[in-house]
Amino acid sequence: MNPTHQAPALLTTSTPFARGYDNLHIERLLLITYENDCPPCFRPVHDSQAHLPDDELRLFPCLFNDDFALISEGQSIPEGLDECCQSTGLVRQVIYAVMGEVLSERHHVGDLYSLEEAQAMVHRLNFETGHYSRAWEISTAHLPDEAMLCLEAWVSHSAPRQTGLLFELFTLPDCVGIGCKLIGTPWTDENLLNIEGNRYSSLRQEQLDAGTPEALVNVLYLAALADVRLLIFDPDAAVLDGLAIFDE
């Protein structure tokens, strides 16, 4: 059997299991216009003026640089700060930007016009576990026949199979499926160094040396990278777009 799509490269920074956002937070930004032919820019208000309410920021002239903005009318500016700002403009709107992370990469989720609206969005996107989903059910087509036979041999006993390789196997007899519980996720170098004292490359080699099929090692890594904790292989489940599929 051959994969219809090449398996993802080792230590990839992308995985089809990634869903939702981590570290959702809100940043208050000023939408500033300046010079007729320049597009608007966004800057946070300087810490010295962070206490100002929105109505004391909106439609006020400002000084700004690449890092922050200062309201220049009706507000005192700490000595020397004005010299750090080379540009002048007008604050057109106060924006509450919702930011998040996907696989440690910063993403801009959306802009709202009040703190309450932004907090409501974060509440809707957040889950009690802090994750979109930590359980997945995918088709057995994502593993070649020899890998499935290996899994079936491992779970042939009634007790769960403890591999010592940061995953455990269990059976689902009613659906002829096999489940994997992933341990110590996410399998990033940083996290594995903290809990195991070794990088992912060492864990991968241990899994391969123990006879774990390479195709299974690849799938488990992509799932663990997205902090998946339960992964079920079911012949009746849907395929996951972007993940290698094995055909006859």
Give me the pLDDT at residue 159, please: 53
111 and 194 share a domain? no
Q: Is residue 107 domain-shared with residue 147, that is, in the same domain?
A: no
> What is the C-alpha to C-alpha distance for residues 248 and 243, in angstroms, rounded to an integer?
17
Which of 103, 125, 147 finishes a domain?
125
| Range(s) of the domain holding residue 243 | 133-247
Residues 155 and 78 in one domain: no
Distance of CA 54 to the CA centre of its chain: 31
Residues whose CB is less than 8 angstroms from the CB of residue 103 and which lie 6 or more positions away in sequence, other chains included: 13, 14, 15, 18, 225, 226
Q: Are residues 95 and 178 in the same domain?
A: no
Pair 176, 112 in one domain: no
Contact 221, 204 (CB under 8 A): yes
Mean pLDDT by groups of 10 residues along the chain of 248 residues: 43 73 93 90 96 96 95 89 91 96 89 95 73 80 91 71 81 84 94 94 94 93 93 92 83
Separation of alpha carbons 144 and 36, rounded Å: 61
